[in-house]
Structure 1
């Protein structure tokens, strides 16, 4: 019996002294933010008329394989770290970018059987649905640092201008939406600069106080 007790004690000691597996670490923003930036630049160039009006698919080669996939990878990475709010943000934007690519490709190749007369209403439907969703995201993330709130507000503005430009046939509003895209791209660049600085041993950039504490 004493031998069994000694073996049990030794087994318990070994189990207690076994090294604890370290928790996974990392920053999903290092993938999510730069892939967001490149897609936003491409979209902004389309909206401001860098390519002809009938070449709206020019940005899809960037938006679908780079931005859409990048946002999805960042969302899954954040979820694996237990960063639920970050995963939600990247997941929402993954949905936006991928669905935008599918919309453009679908309209160009007539995948959905949508007539030419219904194309504008279809784009309006897309923009309204995503505007409501991103506004909701904005309002529910006011406890994040102010830089994120600014980013989301500018995305809201860009979507609203693009919606008005589409359904109202206003080139000026669409172009203004493109410049709003460049504005939130600039915020994204700032966020990425802070993230990469922290990842390389520097100090993170200040992100501002949350609107709600």
Structure 2
């Protein structure tokens, strides 16, 4: 995501090169934010679909904390430093999601937060409900961005909703479906990474679709 992406409307092409920023901050924060988001999504999706045993819930945490959470935070700070407020908000929001997810898993498995074993499911439902609402709001707020971004956030919200219901109902099948939705938005994220990388290396961006809402 670039400054140009946040200013695209129905009367403008889906791709425009980002405005140049002089100095050491020159460049696009999405070059860090998008690939680190993708790698965490792949790890989480593979965990949900059962690539690792169900009890190995901590399997993706090293990637989620050290790569995705940290990468989203760096991208948010970079975007804020060059005045890309909307981009900083998006990356900062997902930094909060990934870092809090890692802490949730570690906290529940190690008893850090004083949550009784019988309340672990309710705690996860609280976490998922809170983030589902925030991502749904984020999805609604991206209707002026190219359609690929709105689709990405809608898939993230859908995955959170599926995993929320799966957790509340203890449904392994729904959790697996949620995992495949995660892998789907990871694939879309990979496409967006190719887009920002192409622009950053002097090429043309990939088609991202028109915004669902004009100015």
What TM-score, normalized to structure 1? 0.89
What do the CA deviations read for 1:162-192 (whole angstroms, capped 9, x no partner)? 0011001111100000000011001101100
After superposition, where does 1:28-177 map in structure 2 within 5 Å? 28-177=29-178
Secondary structure in structure 2 of the residue aligned to 1:55 = coil
Corresponding residue for 1:7? Answer: none
Question: Equivalents in 1 of 2:89, 2:22: separation in Å?
Answer: 25
Q: Which has the higher helix share?
A: 1
Q: Quick one: higher RCO (CA 8 Å, sep 6+), 1 or 2?
A: 2
Between the aligned partners of 1:115 and 1:99, the Cα distance in structure 2 is 19
Aligned residue pairs, count: 193
Bigger radius of gyration among the two: 1
SS in 1 for 2:206: coil
Match of 2:209?
208
User: TM-score when scaled to structure 2?
Assistant: 0.88
Measured in 1, the distance between the counterparts of 2:146 and 2:139 equals 12
Cα RMSD over matched residues? Answer: 1.1
The equivalent of 2:8 in structure 1 is: none
Q: Distance in 1 between matches of 2:154 and 2:184?
A: 10
1:206, distance to aligned residue in structure 2 (A): 1.4
Aligned to 2:189: 188
SS of 1:57 mapped into structure 2? coil
In the TM superposition, residue 22 of structure 1 has moved relative to its aligned partner by 3.9
| Residue ranges of structure 1 left out of the alignment (5+ in a row) | 1-20
Distance 2:135 2:177 in 1: 19
Moved over 3 A (4+): 21-24
